[in-house]
Structure 1
């Protein structure tokens, strides 16, 4: 399982609770779309995760910026992911970012609000914020492997399913 989170905005720790904490602990891969804020928060995530793929956000301290790139690309279960915190141009900017990297899925953060939406050939995912939802629900995304890619679900921290969606690679 892949657990996707973003926008922790913590000076001291991971700020994980409920279903989100369990999902991070049980994931084969944790993807964080930026804004740990401090190295202490990044260290706390690394301690809870068996494998962490992350980028820095616009509120990263210098210590976090030194450890994490602004964006990255990776593959899991036949699906190519492009990860960033934000891109100018909204959905169009994110779609172009994904197409430039040959990605099936673009994962971003910054808005503190979840999103699972197709933009052309690219699926845009934003897990929202598990820690500082800023008036939205505290959410994260879980991806369970399937033969075609992944079955995706947005969960709130209490474990309620907010939305379900498929995630498929280009060969599917």
Structure 2
């Protein structure tokens, strides 16, 4: 099972389409907010999506929570949880929901770490990255024993890969 996670595309529907073309057989697509597109924009069709602080349309939910292959996934933009300061509030919400994977954006800084058996994943930004020059997204491979996270550039070049063993 593979999940493609992107965030903070800020009005660039072409980069969303481009990234989707790299993975036509992906199982789940996630956008962590600040698409700055309409909720019904064709570039966002079939994508689990949430509202970021720059998204004006109220049709976007603040949070998405769903289960894939017995893995509970929580998606939010992150601004309502002050993720630029700490992920503590986000961690509390993830635990309330029983999430095993948390996908969020807002900071434009890519990263992945496991805290209390929960994978926290920020795919970075496909428009305005911070902390590095590469625009980025992530592909997560789910397996019964591990989560493998690969960060890629907008040209589908690998930046880094991390494997986290599931308990």
| Same fold by TM-score greater than 0.5 | yes
Q: Deviations over 1:122-146 (max 9, x none)?
A: 2110001112225632111112242
- Following TM superposition, by how much is the alpha carbon of 1:21 offset from its aligned partner in structure 2, in angstroms? 3.8
Q: 2:106 aligns with which of 110, 127, 147?
A: 110
* Poorly superposed stretches of 4+, deviation over 4 Å: none
- Consecutive unaligned residues in structure 2, runs of 5 or more: none
Q: 1:44 aligns with which of 31, 42, 51?
A: 42
2:53 corresponds to which residue?
A: 58
- Consecutive unaligned residues in structure 1, runs of 5 or more: none
* Counterpart Cα distance in 2 of 1:94 and 1:71: 11
TM-score by length of 2: 0.82
1:92 corresponds to which residue?
A: 88
* Counterpart Cα distance in 2 of 1:168 and 1:76: 18
- Following TM superposition, by how much is the alpha carbon of 1:14 offset from its aligned partner in structure 2, in angstroms? 4.2
* Counterpart Cα distance in 2 of 1:132 and 1:17: 17
TM-score by length of 1: 0.80
1:151 corresponds to which residue?
A: 148
- Following TM superposition, by how much is the alpha carbon of 1:33 offset from its aligned partner in structure 2, in angstroms? 0.4
2:72 corresponds to which residue?
A: 80
RMSD: 2.4
8 A contact 1:138–1:157 mirrored in 2: yes
Residues 115 and 27 of structure 1: is their aligned pair in 2 closer, same or farther, counting only changes over 3 Å?
Answer: same
- Following TM superposition, by how much is the alpha carbon of 1:36 offset from its aligned partner in structure 2, in angstroms? 1.2
